[in-house]
Homo-oligomer: A and B are copies of this chain.
Amino acid sequence: MNKVLRKQMSSSQRALLELREKIFAGELAPGSDHLESELAEQLSMSRTPVREAVLMLEGQGLLELRPRKGIRVVPLSPEDMEEIYDVLTELESLAAECAARASHKEEDLRFLSTAIDDMDVAIANSDLDAWADADDRFHTELVRLGGNSRVNSIVHMMSDQVRRARMTTLFMRPLPTKSNEDHRKVYEAIKDGESQVARDTHREHRLHAKRIIVELLKKHRLRFL
């Protein structure tokens, strides 16, 4: 995130952003507890804006407020992952359906196709970070094209909740070579306005991804991420 933009930001905004980053980076470890005053010092500001940021992050499911026990970075159990993937499956499928129905012009779908191409390249280079980035862009853009702002924000919220865990599992699973076929099918369906196909294809894609992740977590006995 741009440091220049940050200068003219309110302290609460800064707290929000920096806490998010620290959470995603694992700098604030999952399951760890922190005091308001401690976080305030880390961010070199008073408790007030920190409290506000923490409240918002609690609403987004990233922190848990336990008065006098500490502010906990919520850890994810495999069951939580299942919950989240189920929500993502339903809402992204809806988004795919709506995107197809909206009959977008091909140029509106450029971001989507670029993301798909980037994933191909990333896989060819075995570049997992690049793949994850492109995959993120695909899903973000898909949901944006769906045009439902609630779906959009919920999906982003859920994606944020699994962000940390995703980084971990990404390097444990086999290269997602086949997954881009699904992405292409979804793309084509949207382009051709085949809403039912878009929906069903994406749904299958997501259900499959969920199964892989859940088995992975079970196999490696990862209880909290």
Binding site for B on A (CB under 8 A): 51-52, 55-56, 59-61, 83-84, 86-87, 90-91, 93-94, 98, 148-151, 154, 158
Contacts and interface: CB of A to CB of B under 8 A. Distances in A.
Given A55-B52, A150-B158, A91 B87 contact: yes
B56 A150 contact: no
Contacts of A149: 83
Contact of A148 (B51, B56, B61, B87): B87
Interface centre among A56, A93, A148 (most CB of B within 10 A): A148
One complex includes copies of this chain to the number of 2
20 contacts: A51-B52, A52-B52, A55-B55, A56-B59, A59-B59, A61-B150, A83-B148, A83-B149, A83-B150, A83-B151, A84-B150, A86-B98, A87-B91, A87-B94, A87-B148, A87-B150, A87-B154, A90-B90, A90-B93, A90-B94
In the A-B complex, list the 10 residue pairs whose CB atoms are closest, starting with the nearest.
A59-B59, A90-B90, A83-B148, A83-B150, A90-B94, A87-B150, A55-B55, A52-B55, A154-B154, A56-B59
A150 B149 CA distance: 18
A158 B154 CA distance: 11
Contacts of A91: 87, 90-91
A195 to B, nearest CB: 13
Interface centre among A61, A90, A148, A149 (most CB of B within 10 A): A90
Contacts of A94: 86-87, 90
Contacts of A148: 83, 86-87
